Amino acid sequence: MAISYAWDVKTVDTKTIDSNADTVFNVHWRLTATDDTNTVSDGLGGTVNAAATVYGTQSLDTSDLSSFTAFADLTASDVQSWVEAAMGADKITEIKAGLDANIAELVTPTVQTKQVG
């Protein structure tokens, strides 16, 4: 499996902190993993690349705003780097492993739901 990961960190909570308007203090994130090798049924007679998504929120440390970036100047890359730093590498690795496992289950199911009679 060749899996790629894409962050969506566009939705944020803001407030004024120390006269810095629209300070981002909480991020609503989504991480999607897509397998570019394996496909699964789309339920409509076609196939799509196997994918899995997880979402959550991440609080950000706003105790030091010495390198404050105005909201109008923020990029998704900025926010993603803050989320990744706040989560830490181990947590991100754990989340990605879970997504990988979900995709593996989609591609080669170990459990099937059936009806009797």
Q: Given this model, what pLDDT does residue 1 score?
A: 56
- pTM, two decimal places: 0.90
Catalogue the E-assigned strands of 18-66.
20-41, 47-59
**103: burial class by Cβ within 10 Å (0-12, 13-18, 19+)?**
buried
pLDDT < 50 stretches in the chain:
none
Q: Given this model, what pLDDT does residue 96 score?
A: 98
Residue type, position 48, single letter: V
Please, how many CA atoms are within 13 Å of residue 76, restricted to the half-sphere of its CB? 9
Q: Given this model, what pLDDT does residue 47 score?
A: 94
Q: Given this model, what pLDDT does residue 74 score?
A: 97
